[in-house]
Amino acid sequence: MESLLRAVIFASLALHALLLLYVVLRRGQVRIGHLWLAATLLLSALAISTLLLPANLRLAEKFGRGAGLTFGLAAMLVTFGALVATDVLRQRVARGRRLWLVVGLLWLIGLIITGFLSNNITIAEGEWLVATFSTRNPFALFATGGLGVVSVVLFGIAFYAFYVAPLPEIANRALFWVITTAVLLVGVILLVSGTTALILLGVVTLLVGVFGTVYAEVSHRVLDIRSGLSLGLRTALLIALNAVVVYAVLIATDRLPIQTETE
pLDDT reported for residue 263:
44
Mean pLDDT over residues 153-168, rounded?
A: 79
Nearest to 41 by CA among 55, 23, 25: 23
Q: Does position 43 have pLDDT exceeding 90, yes or no?
A: yes
pLDDT reported for residue 94:
66
Least confident of 41-55, 58-72, 146-160, 181-195: 58-72
Q: Does position 165 have pLDDT exceeding 80, yes or no?
A: no
Mean pLDDT over residues 225-245, rounded?
A: 61
pLDDT reported for residue 45:
92
State the Cα–Cα distance between residues 183 and 186, nearest whole angstrom: 5
State the Cα–Cα distance between residues 129 and 45, nearest whole angstrom: 24
Residue 219 identity: S
State the Cα–Cα distance between residues 139 and 112, nearest whole angstrom: 8
From the number of C-beta atoms within 10 Å of its C-beta (0-12, 13-18, 19+), residue 249 rates as: exposed
**89-138: per-residue pLDDT in tens?**
766 666 777 888 888 899 999 988 988 887 777 777 767 776 677 777 78
pLDDT reported for residue 176:
85
pLDDT reported for residue 225:
56
Least confident of 73-82, 102-111, 206-215, 231-240: 231-240
Mean pLDDT comparison of 3-17, 82-96, 206-220, highest-scoring range: 3-17
CB 157 within 8 A of CB 88: yes
Mean pLDDT comparison of 51-60, 106-115, 241-250, highest-scoring range: 106-115
- The larger pLDDT score, comparing residue 174 to residue 148, is at 148
Residue 154 identity: L
Q: Does position 183 have pLDDT exceeding 70, yes or no?
A: yes
Q: Does position 223 have pLDDT exceeding 60, yes or no?
A: no
Mean pLDDT over residues 228-250, rounded?
A: 62
Please state whether 245 falls in left (phi above 0), alpha (psi between -120 and 50) or beta: alpha
pLDDT reported for residue 206:
92
CB 200 within 8 A of CB 194: no
- The larger pLDDT score, comparing residue 63 to residue 230, is at 63
**Which positions ≥6 away from 143 have C-beta within 8 Å?**
70, 74, 111, 114, 123
Mean pLDDT over residues 139-148, rounded?
A: 87
Dihedral of the alpha carbons of 250, 251, 253, 257, in degrees to the nearest 10: 160
State the Cα–Cα distance between residues 126 and 149, nearest whole angstrom: 24
Going from the C-alpha of 113 to that of each of 62, 68, 99, 139, 175, the distances in angstroms are 13, 14, 21, 8, 35
State the Cα–Cα distance between residues 121 and 127, nearest whole angstrom: 12
